[in-house]
Structures are given as C-alpha cells and as structure tokens.
C-alpha cells in the first residue's frame, strides 16, 4: 500500500464506512475512548480519525485534533463536528507518517485501526512517539496476528485485504525495539480479534 492507493481505497469506503465499519469496529473504538476518558483533561491527537466516529464520545474537556489522509473520510468527520457542535475537536488533513506538530505537543495519542493500514507502520509509530510528550499515553487499537488467532485471521483475510489491512501484521513488527512501555493490553470483540494496547511514552 502506498499513500495513493490508501487515498483511493478510502475515497471508495467513505460513503459506506459508518454503516459497515461503524458497528463492526465499535467495541474497540468505544473501549479505547472510555480508557481515554478516564485520564485527566488532555491535549489529544487521534491519527487516522477517519469519519470521526469516536469524536462525539470523548469528554468535552479533552482538546482533540483528528488527522487523516483521506479527504473524503475527513469530509464526513467535519460534517459530524459541525452537526454535533463538537467545539473541542479540530480536523486536519495530514499524513500520520509525517505529522506537522512539534515534539511533545500532545498528552495522549490514539490510533484505532490505522497502524496496519499506513504504508510504513514503524514510521507512523515513531511520529506518534515524537508528538506525544515524554510520559504521555499512547493507545493503539488494532488487529495483531498471534498463533492463537491465526485461523480467524486467515478467515477474515479477504476483508482485511479489501480494507487495505495487513492480516499478518504482528505486535512485534510494530513495536520492535521501540522503547514504548506497554502498560495494559486487552483483547476486544469481535472474537478477541482486535487488541487495545495502552503504552507509556518513554522520556526523551
Ligand atoms: C480503518 S480506517 C479507521 C478509521 C477510524 N480510526 C475508525 O475507528 O473508524 C483507517 C483510516 O486510516 C487512514 N489512513 C491511512 N493511512 C494514513 C496515513 N498515512 N495518514 C493518515 N491517515 C491514514 C485512512 O484514510 C482511514 O480513514
């Protein structure tokens, strides 16, 4: 996947995304938002915000910036922000692998169903860690291949490929030798197929 194919894919999905992937991916999305809402008021970045399904659910004292590479997905997110009068949310077109924010600009960074969609997951993680302040919190909700889930992963692989996901993506591939400290890791429905990892960003 390169950026052009990601943009093309999500141009196609944008009109149907909320109806199809809204409910299908909602458990991980809402559990991640609930975990974020347990933290003190924060400068919060959501990368790959898509159509902004999470935005109405963040506590209003979180200042949220949502970025995505797909104009069509962002157009839906912008409509949502206006319709729901989400004065705490801002939407920007931006590549998650090259974020236009200063180092440590955010207390919390969230990436839901994104890290295995971007062309270079590790570059995306490095950028997330750069813009999150030292000691800040990073939430990643994604599908990660494990031997236990290999059978299920194989059965949903066509859906993953259609979505532009990598069904064989592992947590180790993402974290590798990053100094990110995983402080919590839990499976989420459907079928425990997805995982939420909560991480502490190391000191610079
Ligand atoms: C499966 S959707 C997830 C959307 C949303 N997080 C959700 O929970 O429904 C993946 C999103 O990642 C975005 N994306 C893919 N590559 C990106 C990149 N390099 N930079 C920013 N966004 C990207 C896509 O445009 C799409 O909106």
Please report the domains of the chain, with CATH numbers, ordered by start residue: 3-200 (3.40.50.150)
176-189 per-position pLDDT tens digit: 888 899 999 999 98
Which residues on adjacent β-strands are paired with residue 112? Answer: 141
Residue of 2, 3, 9, 50 best suited for mutating to test ligand 1, as the one with most atoms within 8 Å of CB: 50
Q: What is the dihedral of CA 83, 84, 89, 90, to 10 degrees?
A: 0
**Cβ(137)–Cβ(34) under 8 Å?**
no
CA of 68 to the centre of ligand 1 (A): 6
Euclidean distance between CA atoms 201 and 183, whole angstroms? 10
CA angle 169, 53, 89 (to 5 degrees): 110
Question: Integer distance in angstroms from the first to the last C-alpha of the chain?
Answer: 31
pTM metric for this prediction: 0.93
Whether 171 has a pLDDT exceeding 80, the answer reads yes
């Amino acid at each position: 996947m390169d950026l052009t194919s990601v943009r093309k894919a999500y141009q196609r999905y944008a009109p149907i995304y909320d109806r199809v992937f809204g409910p299908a991916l909602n458990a991980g999305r809402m559990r991640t938002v609930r975990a974020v809402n347990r933290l003190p008021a924060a400068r919060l970045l959501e990368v790959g915000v898509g159509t902004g399904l999470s935005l109405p659910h963040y506590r209003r004292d979180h200042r949220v910036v949502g970025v995505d590479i797909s104009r069509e997905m962002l157009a839906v997110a912008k409509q949502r922000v206006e319709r729901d009068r989400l004065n705490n949310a801002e939407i920007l077109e931006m590549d998650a692998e090259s974020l236009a924010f200063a180092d440590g600009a955010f207390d919390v960074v969230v990436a839901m169903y994104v890290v295995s969609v971007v062309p270079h997951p590790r570059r995306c993680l490095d950028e997330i860690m750069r813009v999150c302040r030292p000691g800040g919190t990073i939430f990643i909700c994604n599908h990660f291949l494990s031997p236990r889930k290999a059978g299920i992963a194989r059965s949903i692989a066509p859906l993953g490929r259609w979505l532009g996901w990598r069904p064989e993506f592992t947590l180790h591939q993402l974290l590798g030798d990053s100094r990110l400290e995983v402080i919590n890791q839990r499976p989420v429905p459907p079928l425990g197929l997805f995982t939420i990892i909560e991480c502490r960003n190391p000191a610079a």
